[in-house]
Structure 1
């Protein structure tokens, strides 16, 4: 059975290492939100760095998820002191469970505050695509598809909630959650 890959990317207003209250709040909420999402029906797995690389993005060992990379439009730092981004890469059983996890509960509350933490870049901040049940998507897969959405319309290999596709590549009708906004 195919699995749904989801890549999210957002540019933070301040570096992850910033000691400001907003950055600390983002971290505090983020950890709890991710724990809640990982228990949501339909959630399968997400990319995590190995061992001592927790909290590190660039240069971390991400195992089968591949080398960490970012869209070409990200123009902030890449060191632990200057990195100002949040990115996720996860697997789901289908679009509806992902939508429900993102637009309900704690994640919905955090999503309502996204502009406290994230810049409004004008770029897409998430993308879906289907993978076979034995495949692990890579960070580069997510970046390539997100960049595709920047320049093109949703397609079976890069789509959104509003313009989703079945695993066979057919449009899935009206989409899920039309008018719900975009996750970050």
Structure 2
């Protein structure tokens, strides 16, 4: 059993409310993409609110800013979901529904069994924003191995751009 799992957070600020026609494409895909994640090899956990997604949970001053969090067994499992499933097609449309953000995602290692809090995740995003990629907060393009593993990790290129 692996001593560490990979946590991720991504945030986005909607251009219109969740129930607006402008975000219908996002809202219509949410349940399907979450179910796809839940059934992927390597999936461990995701943050959910009342509607089995995290859109009703608010952690920012701007109520239009959404937060998504999940935990995976490893980088490869998360990358396979993000870049090699229907999730990729939905991500390619994110500019339709969300304002452009310079930094919207961060990855970090957590002890297996640890469920990260949104506050912890937001702090990791801020660490990445302040310091750049490090073992504490990194991206697919600049990944770090789990603590105690010295082997280099190959970057995962953003195939959704």
Contact 2:82 2:88 in 1 (8 A): yes
SS at match of 2:86: helix
Q: In the alignment, which residue of structure 2 is the partner of 1:99?
A: 79
Q: In the alignment, which residue of structure 2 is the partner of 1:90?
A: 70
1:117 pairs with 2:97: yes
Structure 1: segments with no counterpart, 5+ residues: 59-68, 77-82
Task: Spell out, residue by residue over 1:142-181, the C-alpha distance to the aligned partner (whole angstroms, 9 max, x if none).
Answer: 1011111112211111011111111126473432x22535
Q: In the alignment, which residue of structure 1 is the partner of 2:4?
A: 2
Relative to structure 1, the CA distance from residue 42 to residue 157 in structure 2 (aligned partners, 3 Å threshold; closer, same or farther) is same
Q: In the alignment, which residue of structure 1 is the partner of 2:20?
A: 19
Structure 2: segments with no counterpart, 5+ residues: none
Contact 2:54 2:67 in 1 (8 A): no
- TM-score, normalisation: structure 1: 0.76
Q: Quick one: distance in 1 between partners of 2:159 and 2:52?
A: 37
Relative to structure 1, the CA distance from residue 91 to residue 28 in structure 2 (aligned partners, 3 Å threshold; closer, same or farther) is same
Q: Quick one: distance in 2 between partners of 1:93 and 1:31?
A: 22
